[in-house]
Amino acid sequence: MTVQRMDYSTAIQTLKKADPILASVIEIVGNCQLHQVQQTQDLLFSLSRSILYQQLSGKAAAAIHSRFLQLYPQNLPTALDILNTPDEVLRTAGISRPKIVYLKDLAQKATDGLPTVEQLQTMDDEEIVKTLTPIKGIGRWTVQMLLMFRLHRLDVLPVDDLGIRAAIRNLYGLAQLPNKKTVEDLGQRWKPYRSVACWYLWRSLEVKTSLVK
């Protein structure tokens, strides 16, 4: 697969000027690779990935997602594949019982007809949230991951994301995890590139080098 290149230079320069703390993270982490996370695949693949990533660290979620994909030919499960996979087989991949329920509900919805990625591209962010959150286990955070990593929307801020909150606490010297309003207020300075800012916040959790507060 040829990786689509995206130019984040304007976003990075804007963020550096707007936020000196984030600027130090950008200098250490380097080029933004947000676009490399997911280039292709349909809505079923994207949402199933997001479900498996819910409430887990990135490393743990990636391991479970990998084991899930390995259950299927070419690592590309269809809706019928998921529906026909016994729950206990899914459990061997490390998937919790509630998430198995969510995956199978998603697969059933897919057989009934989900929107295509192309159809979603014509909608604004809130329309997409309203379209997809009626699916069991698909909340705002899950749709926001789709917006960021599959639809490549540049101004998404998942205020409830634990990694984002932990990164903000660490970088901005907070005594505890910030609440939703604190994240929203801080995020105002990152507009209209909050998705890019979030990618750097997530990466800051993996960087061993001491970051300047």
Active site residue 42: no
What string of DSSP letters covers 102-138?
HHHHHHHHHHHHPPPHHHHHTS-HHHHHHHHTTSTT-
If you ran DSSP here, which 8-state letter would residue 7 be given? -
Q: Where are the domains of the chain?
A: 9-36+156-204, 43-149
| Domain over 43-149 is classified CATH 1.10.340.30 | yes
Q: Output the pLDDT for position 161.
A: 92
Top CATH class, 9-36+156-204: mainly alpha
pLDDT of residue 181: 97
Report in angstroms the alpha-carbon separations of 94 from 25, 88, 122, 132, 172.
33, 10, 35, 25, 34
Can you tell me whether residue 174 is helix, strand or coil? coil
Q: Which of 19, 81, 161, 185 is catalytic?
A: 161
pLDDT for residue 213: 46
Q: What pLDDT does residue 211 have?
A: 55
Confidence bin at 54 (pLDDT 50/70/90): confident
The band of 73, judged by pLDDT with boundaries at 50, 70 and 90, is confident
Query: Is the pLDDT assigned to residue 75 strictly greater than 80?
Result: yes
